[in-house]
Amino acid sequence: MIFWILAALMAAAVVAAVAWPLLRSRKNARQAADYDIEVYRDQLAEVERSHERGQIGDAEAEAAKAEIGRRILAADQRRSAAEDMVGASSGLRRALAAILAVSVPAGAVGLYLELGSPGMEGLPFAERDIQESGTQVARGNGGGGNGNGQQGQAPQLREAEQNLAARLNENPRDADGWVLLGRTRMAMGRYEGAAEAFGRARDLRPEDPNVAAMFGESVVMASGGTVTQAAETALKAAAKANPGDTRTQYYLALAELQKGNAETALNQWAAMVKAAPADAPWLEVVRRQMAAAEEQLGREPGTTFAEVKPEAPAGADGASGPTREQKQAAQDMSPDERRQMVRGMVEGLAARLEQNPRDFEGWQRLIRSYGVLGETENAEDALRTALETFQNAPFVRQQLIAQAREQNLSLPEGVGNGATGDTSGPSQEQMEAAQDMSPEQRREMIAGMVDGLAKRLEERPDDLEGWLMLGRSYRVLEEPAKARDALAKAAELAPDNVEVLSRYARAIRAAAGERQTDESYEVTQRILELDADNPQALWFTALRHAANGDRAKAREMFDRALAQLPQDTPQTAELRRRAEQVLAD
């Protein structure tokens, strides 16, 4: 009798656990996703700041931004799912709950009468199958791969992963199991293992677009943010079956950007943004990528996004232009009132730039706004401050110089002077003409401009910014040897500039097929003389020691490099894993 009383109580508890989610609102799920999105946005801004300070390199920054973008997309999907649940019929949910309240106990009793043994003694806990608990942990916490709260669940996730892997060894045809294993590994930051698991699931379900999308995404993450051919093939298959999936749209556009097709990437992202709601949480991620594409095309970053989504809220920097409401209000103002409103906005923008001076687009808007107000002196002061702020960012400086010439502003002494030394990039007419060209014609135009820049630098070899721009241009044109030679000139002019030396070392490795050479190692050691804690230099020094068989010294260098990076992040964990792999080889 005691058994049946306990069974009834347990059945009631199960019914409550199953039915309660159907009866309550999904508000908590929405709030959790909203919180995650805000956290990820902050992380994205921190990555940008770390990159600008030189704490992480270009590759690490791109990988981190790709990972954070993936998490924002995943959180947005969770939020959308929660909203769909809120919109479901409450009557239907109550009816379903009532059915469960009857069917669950009845089914349980029927099965137990058929299969159970009420008189059987209980097994000791040590003899019970603990794999099911591991599976439940993975289902509950590792499914989305969003990274929220993963740190406290790391032991459970590891146990879940081990249990799932053991089960799949016994039953390798379980496609759901492989998907679950892939999601668990994504949550753990084990992207290569996740790609392997999703690949097995795809072999079993080749027509499933969701599996294809998960596989493609995991391959991108495992490749440090690079959309490889395998990833692109899978993502295209997923997009064909589900063209509205923002995740696949994002990565396919990223693939075009990485292949040098900036115009195609920009158009794809623009279409994606145009179809999205104004408050979509991933808009900031895509806006930044669109700005990167515009930089490659020689356009002002942010213009395309503003055209296709003018109603979008301000970006992370908070320094966007007037809102739609402000524009509408301005139409009913007198000229003096409108000027006063603009003056207030300009002062607010200037104040924000004091707090966040690394906002390049903000400086461009401020300089342009002072020009509209006819305050040339203020515009030139803002230009001078912006040029000083970005003194180690040659491309940004060239954009500022080009804008100054467009507004007929006086440049600071020694900046961009002389026709023969003009390295400010394409003119406004050239940029407009480029929009009507084919990719081949545009590439030819860029190559011609680069050749012209190279000839001007022969006449003016002391132009540091010119050599840096030439090196970057050759890299875009995929001519690594020429990029290396141009940056060698820059390194001669700035032998104590860590940023210039870091670019030079990267160019040497790129020209050697992404291999470290004696020459790149010498540059790396010079960087360490100037900055003993430079993580990139420490990392490549560790690789050299490992190649020479000095494991102890290599480990010391790896540990010092990793200590400079943000801790408890998937990227740092992946680098730590790679370091251990190098030391074990």
Q: What is the spatial distance between Cα 376 and Cα 404, in angstroms, rounded to a whole number?
A: 11
- The confidence score (pLDDT) of residue 522 equals 93
Whether residue 535 contacts residue 56, with contact meaning beta carbons closer than 8 Å, is answered with yes
Contacts within 8 Å (CB) and 24+ apart, 369-372: 369/342, 369/345, 370/346, 371/407, 371/409, 372/342
Q: What is the spatial distance between Cα 180 and Cα 210, in angstroms, rounded to a whole number?
A: 13
Of residues 569, 30, 459, the one with CA closest to residue 279: 30
CB within 8 A of 176, min separation 6: which ones? none
Q: What is the spatial distance between Cα 524 and Cα 494, in angstroms, rounded to a whole number?
A: 15
Q: What is the spatial distance between Cα 147 and Cα 143, in angstroms, rounded to a whole number?
A: 10
Positions of the chain with pLDDT under 50: 1-4, 6, 24-31, 85-89, 92, 109-153, 314-321, 417-425, 427-428, 431-432
Taking the complete model, does pTM exceed 0.75, yes or no? no
Structure tokens at 8: 């009834």
Count of Cβ atoms closer than 10 Å to residue 459 Cβ: 10
**Could you identify the residue written with the tokens 């870091």?**
502
- The confidence score (pLDDT) of residue 497 equals 86
Q: What is the spatial distance between Cα 76 and Cα 138, in angstroms, rounded to a whole number?
A: 20
- The confidence score (pLDDT) of residue 392 equals 57
Whether residue 7 contacts residue 89, with contact meaning beta carbons closer than 8 Å, is answered with no
- The confidence score (pLDDT) of residue 101 equals 52
Please return the burial class of 272, using the count of CB atoms within 10 Å of its CB with bins 0-12, 13-18 and 19+: buried
DSSP string, 468-531: HHHHHHHHHTT-HHHHHHHHHHHHHH-TT-HHHHHHHHHHHHHHTTS---HHHHHHHHHHHHH-
| Rg of the chain over all Cα atoms, to the nearest angstrom | 29
Angle, nearest 10°, between helix axes 464-476 and 439-459? Answer: 150
Domains of the chain: 2-117+134-308 (1.25.40.10), 319-416 (1.25.40), 418-522 (1.25.40.10), 532-585 (no CATH)
Q: What is the spatial distance between Cα 578 and Cα 396, in angstroms, rounded to a whole number?
A: 33
- The confidence score (pLDDT) of residue 86 equals 47
Give CA 569 to chain center in angstroms: 13
Structure tokens at 178: 């492989």
- The confidence score (pLDDT) of residue 381 equals 92
Q: What is the spatial distance between Cα 372 and Cα 409, in angstroms, rounded to a whole number?
A: 13
Whether residue 538 contacts residue 564, with contact meaning beta carbons closer than 8 Å, is answered with yes
